[in-house]
């Protein structure tokens, strides 16, 4: 329990210290934001600070910090330190700069920013990466709430099919309507339910707080923590692939531009982008404590490999049955909030890349139609294949962290271009590149269950190669930013289109 409390303190102090440093480096001012400078009534619509905070929280949180830590808790109490430290100096920095750089570029989505800073070739490759990742997100977060519904109702197969159809139909509608018509109205309610159920779980932990494991603060204890996973998974890279939301998630970089288009003042950015990631870290810590307590009370649950099953077991272990059912209903809401905005970003990303205006509903439908067909195929395959879900989740997690690495490299190039201290984004950028490359080189069916193929190099060899390549990528981002600063026709920020008097 002491390690858990130390972690919570790190998160709170991080917001008031590292968050302010990030804000000072970026330098928000009083210029018009995209919501006013280029209002379009669909994406760029000014919303209140409180509504944007809830919108951002649900955009980035959803089931991510719950399912991820359910599996991450198997690494032991070291997660109570790695979650907050990674969040403060990595994840929250990632979200803040992704959102603020987007805001300075008319709310541009991440692929457009990659293309602007790293060229058309890199931008085209990144569009493919983001599109694949978001397709996996929509598919995964259609299946997750549908399976939660099945756990509450009889007639499994029929309920599953009907649930998938209803959830996917909602995703399509919410992604087509203006941001303030559906998502902007229901997200504050969903955000409230997330906070409520997390508070209830936190209260339920108090009587048994002494059973929440602590990390021995000694050389031997910390060394042992790196070999604590029951399946022998190495912390580097697997912890940072497994616990994405809560520590760092590239999905957030695709979601932050949604809110960058609706913020009224730049100075709201720290509490919306950085602050909501800190809140997500607190949520992740509480659910990590709940799962750690479950593993202590019922050691056999360590053998569970499905995050949904672990969470469901923890909820009904800690809460009365009625509150447990309420929690499952909340999980359904939360999973839905990941899928609907992912589909929306798929549409806006394709529209930006292909220069398709989205003011008319007909063009929004035509832009979205190919993705609907692809996702329908993925849903069919993933539910017919016995291993479909596991394969989807593994590849979603890796693609997710690749996006995080690219977003941080972008932020590093941006700061280098403006001759600002780029080390604040460069350090987490290098680390995440190292994590993603290590996973790429090491993972294989022999090393990791659920991975159908991979390179399969020894872990130590993967570390060395990945470290060298990560430094090279970071150096490339810094050099690119400095070169761009010398180009007379390049500006890291788009000038605001002020409305006519």
Higher pLDDT, 152 or 433: 433
Span 82-109, mean pLDDT? Answer: 97
For residues 100 and 107, what is the distance between their CA atoms, to the nearest angstrom? 9
- What pLDDT is stored for residue 218 in this prediction? 80
Q: Which residue has the higher pLDDT, 186 or 19?
A: 19
Q: Quick one: pLDDT band at residue 445, thresholds 50, 70, 90?
A: confident
Closest to 184 in 3D by CA, of 327, 95, 53, 35: 53
Give pTM, 2 decimals: 0.91
What is the predicted pLDDT for the residue at 224?
80
Q: What pLDDT is attached to residue 500?
A: 43
Mean pLDDT of 80-98: 97
pLDDT of the residue at 397: 78
- pLDDT at residue 471 is higher than 80: yes
pLDDT tops 60 at residue 498: no
Q: What is the pLDDT of residue 496?
A: 64
Mean pLDDT of the chain: 90
Confidence of residue 169 (pLDDT cuts 50, 70, 90): very high
pLDDT-derived band of residue 388, with 50, 70 and 90 as boundaries? low
For range 94-115, the mean pLDDT: 95
Residues 216-233 have a mean pLDDT of 83
135 versus 95: the higher-pLDDT residue is 95
pLDDT of the residue at 345 = 87
Q: Model confidence at 394, in pLDDT bands (50, 70, 90)?
A: low
pLDDT tens string 307-355: 888 999 999 999 999 999 988 888 888 888 888 888 998 998 889 888 8
Contact status, residue 87 vs residue 278, Cβ threshold 8 Å: yes
Average pLDDT over residues 31-59: 91
Between 66 and 410, the higher pLDDT residue: 410
Report yes or no: 410 and 466 within 8 Å, Cβ to Cβ. no
Interior/surface letters 1-28, b for 16+ CB within 10 angstroms, e for the rest: bebbeebbebbeebbeebbeebbebbeb
The answer to whether residue 20 scores a pLDDT higher than 60 is yes
Query: Residues 82-101: what's their mean pLDDT?
Result: 98
- The predicted model gives 117-146 an average pLDDT of 88
| pLDDT (0 to 100) of residue 497 | 56
Does residue 453 surpass a pLDDT of 90? Answer: no
Q: How far apart are CA 104 and CA 261, in angstroms?
A: 10
Confidence of residue 501 (pLDDT cuts 50, 70, 90): very low
Per-residue exposure over 420-436, b if at least 16 CB sit within 10 Å of its own CB, e if not: eebebbbbbbbbbbbbb
pLDDT in tens, 202-216: 999 999 999 999 998
What is the predicted pLDDT for the residue at 366?
A: 94
Window from 81-85, 227-231, 287-291 with minimum mean pLDDT = 227-231
Least reliable range by pLDDT among 59-73, 192-206, 277-291: 59-73
**Once rounded to an integer, what is the mean pLDDT over residues 33-62?**
90
Rg (CA), the chain: 22
For residue 32, pLDDT over 90 is answered with: yes
Nearest in space to 182 (alpha carbons), one of 343, 368, 352, 367: 343
Confidence check: pLDDT of 49 > 60: yes
Please give the domain boundaries of the chain with CATH numbers for all domains: 2-392 (1.10.4160)
486 CB-near residues (< 8 Å, 6+ apart): none
Name the more confident of 184 and 266: 266
pLDDT surpasses 70 at 393: no
Q: State phi, psi for 338 to the nearest 5 degrees.
A: -85, -35
């Amino acid at each position: 329990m002491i390690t858990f409390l130390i972690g919570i303190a790190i998160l709170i102090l991080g917001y008031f210290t590292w968050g302010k440093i990030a804000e000072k480096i970026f330098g928000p001012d009083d210029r018009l934001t995209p919501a006013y400078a280029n209002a379009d009534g669909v994406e760029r619509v000014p919303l209140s600070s409180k509504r944007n905070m809830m919108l951002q929280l649900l955009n980035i949180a959803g089931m991510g910090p719950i399912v991820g830590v359910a599996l991450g808790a198997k690494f032991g109490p070291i997660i109570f330190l790695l979650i907050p430290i990674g969040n403060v100096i990595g994840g929250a920095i990632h979200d803040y700069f992704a959102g603020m750089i987007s805001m300075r570029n008319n709310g541009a989505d991440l692929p457009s920013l990659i293309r602007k800073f790293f060229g058309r070739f890199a931008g085209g490759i990144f569009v493919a990466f983001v599109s694949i990742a978001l397709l996996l997100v929509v598919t995964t977060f259609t299946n997750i709430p549908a399976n939660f519904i099945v756990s509450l109702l009889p007639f499994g197969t029929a309920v599953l099919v009907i649930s998938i159809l209803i959830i996917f139909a909602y995703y399509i509608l919410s992604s087509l309507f203006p941001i303030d018509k559906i998502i902007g109205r229901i997200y504050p309610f969903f955000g409230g339910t997330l906070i409520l159920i997390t508070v209830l779980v936190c209260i339920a932990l108090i009587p048994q707080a002494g059973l929440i494991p602590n990390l021995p603060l000694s050389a031997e204890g910390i060394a042992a923590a790196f070999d604590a996973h029951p399946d022998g998974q190495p912390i580097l890279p697997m912890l940072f692939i497994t616990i994405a939301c809560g520590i760092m998630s590239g999905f957030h970089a695709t979601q932050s531009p949604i809110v960058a288009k609706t913020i009224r003042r730049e100075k709201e950015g720290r509490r919306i982008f950085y602050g909501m990631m800190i809140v997500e870290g607190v949520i992740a810590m509480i659910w990590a404590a709940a799962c750690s307590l479950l593993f202590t009370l019922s050691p056999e649950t360590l053998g569970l490999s499905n995050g949904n099953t672990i969470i469901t077991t923890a909820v009904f272990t800690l809460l009365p049955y009625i509150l447990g059912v309420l929690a499952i209903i909340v999980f359904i809401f939360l999973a839905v909030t990941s899928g609907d905005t992912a589909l929306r970003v798929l549409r806006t990303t394709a529209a930006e890349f292909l220069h398709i205006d989205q003011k008319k509903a007909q063009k929004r439908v035509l832009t979205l139609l190919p993705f609907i067909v692809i996702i329908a195929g993925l849903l069919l395959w993933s539910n017919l294949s016995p291993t479909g879900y596991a394969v989807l989740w593994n590849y979603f997690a890796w693609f997710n962290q690749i996006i995080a690495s690219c977003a941080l490299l972008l932020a590093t190039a941006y700061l280098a271009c403006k001759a600002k201290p780029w080390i604040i984004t460069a350090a987490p950028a290098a680390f995440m590149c190292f994590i993603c490359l290590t996973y790429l080189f090491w993972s294989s069916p022999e090393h990791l269950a659920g991975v159908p193929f991979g390179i399969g190099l020894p872990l130590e060899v993967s570390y060395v190669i990945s470290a060298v390549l990560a430094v090279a990528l970071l150096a490339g981002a810094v050099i690119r930013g400095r070169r761009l600063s010398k180009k007379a026709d390049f500006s890291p920020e788009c000038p605001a289109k002020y409305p006519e008097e």
